[in-house]
Copies of this chain bind each other. A is one copy, B any other.
């Protein structure tokens, strides 16, 4: 039990004195004890325990130039990005992996261009060892701002073209997943397969369109609907699709939320799923997938795992000599078959 001494916190000096060793030896023990003989290690450890010693982080950082903290930059050009379950899972993965590496998560919430300078200063100020950011709309200036801080970083999601290509990213195989989804519909014998895509300025949406086109090389443009990843937009896009091409018998929707909206429209119009129209989503978001009627067939991606991977890449970047840049990672997706297709 640590002594409940009031007053200033004990220093390494105090530990060393109590253990009867030098500060250097005490330091070695505290940092793993390599190269110190067992009896001394024992003594120092006991002193640490008795004094309730906790290393002073600032002092350590001052000399090691490492502070064991990583910034997670959350930009909020739109509403709801934080309450987004997708986002939550990713941050959770990051948090867990960071904990495993004994690193802290510093949250940088960007509310608008006015915050950019503040963020850049913070990043450049050496408060954190590295940064994690998420790919945004292609017209966002934030990536550039971050890059200028010249601090190790990793993106979540493939960044828009034009972003510094030396920054590694973690993304799921959007294109491959989309292909698998569409192939599944084809395998079901569907002939008029539509796609409801996400915003054109997001790489994930673009990649999914590409996957759709990879399989359906010359699909009728009328079979291409567009949404913005919200449920409402999915419902609307589905309605328009039905108007344009009443003979549609399969839809690959770029995310589960929009798929849920599409399902609603279908139900409202009396179209049977999957009998008349088979529907496949993307994301395998538990909160959505479990509630749709019928249960949604969708493309699964390991979101938490992607968060963890971002941290792993960053750690490699941090540990490395600086010369080698870890390659970006594309994580696999898998089709989860449920009732809707």
A338 to B: closest C-beta gap in Å: 21
Contact call B55/A58, Cβ cutoff below 8 A: no
Q: Check: A121 CB closer than 8 A to any chain B CB.
A: yes
Q: Across the interface, which residues of B come within 8 angstroms of A62, CB to CB?
A: 56, 58-59, 62
Q: A106's contact among B61, B69, B85, B121, by CB below 8 Å, is which?
A: B69
Contact call B104/A127, Cβ cutoff below 8 A: yes
Mark each residue of chain A from 29 to 69: 1 if its CB lies under 8 Å from any CB of chain B, else 0.
00000000000000000000000001111110110000101
Contact call A107/B105, Cβ cutoff below 8 A: yes
Q: A118's contact among B92, B99, B124, by CB below 8 Å, is which?
A: B99
Residue of B whose beta carbon sits closest to that of A6: B150
A19 to B: closest C-beta gap in Å: 20
Which of A104, A111, A115, A287: most chain B Cβ within 10 A?
A: A104
- Bound CA span A88–B118, Å: 22
Residue of B whose beta carbon sits closest to that of A52: B124
A27 to B: closest C-beta gap in Å: 16
- Bound CA span A127–B57, Å: 6
Contact call B107/A107, Cβ cutoff below 8 A: yes
Contact call B91/A125, Cβ cutoff below 8 A: no
A13 to B: closest C-beta gap in Å: 15
Residue of B whose beta carbon sits closest to that of A81: B88
Total A residues in contact with B, Cβ cutoff 8 Å:
38
Contact call A58/B67, Cβ cutoff below 8 A: yes
Contact call A54/B126, Cβ cutoff below 8 A: yes
Q: Across the interface, which residues of B come within 8 angstroms of A118, CB to CB?
A: 99
Contact call B106/A104, Cβ cutoff below 8 A: yes
- Bound CA span A109–B89, Å: 13
Contact call A105/B109, Cβ cutoff below 8 A: yes
Q: Across the interface, which residues of B come within 8 angstroms of A85, CB to CB?
A: 83
- Bound CA span A99–B121, Å: 13
Q: Check: A275 CB closer than 8 A to any chain B CB.
A: no
Q: Across the interface, which residues of B come within 8 angstroms of A58, CB to CB?
A: 58-59, 61-62, 67, 126
Interface residues of A in 118-133 (CB under 8 A from B): 118, 121-122, 124-127
Q: Across the interface, which residues of B come within 8 angstroms of A83, CB to CB?
A: 83-85, 88, 287
Interface residues of A in 263-310 (CB under 8 A from B): 287
- Bound CA span A91–B55, Å: 29
Contact call B126/A9, Cβ cutoff below 8 A: yes
- Bound CA span A67–B69, Å: 13
Q: A54's contact among B56, B57, B107, B125, by CB below 8 Å, is which?
A: B125
Contact call A54/B104, Cβ cutoff below 8 A: no
Known: A69-B106, A83-B83, A96-B111. 14 other contacts (CB 8 A): A54-B125, A57-B127, A58-B58, A58-B61, A59-B62, A62-B62, A82-B88, A83-B85, A95-B107, A99-B109, A99-B118, A104-B122, A106-B107, A107-B107
The 10 closest A-B pairs by CB, nearest first: A58-B61, A58-B62, A95-B109, A83-B88, A54-B125, A105-B107, A82-B88, A58-B58, A107-B107, A83-B85
Q: Hey, which bits of chain A sit against chain B, CB under 8 A?
A: 9, 54-59, 61-62, 67, 69, 72, 80, 82-85, 88, 91-92, 95-96, 99, 104-107, 109, 111, 115, 118, 121-122, 124-127, 287
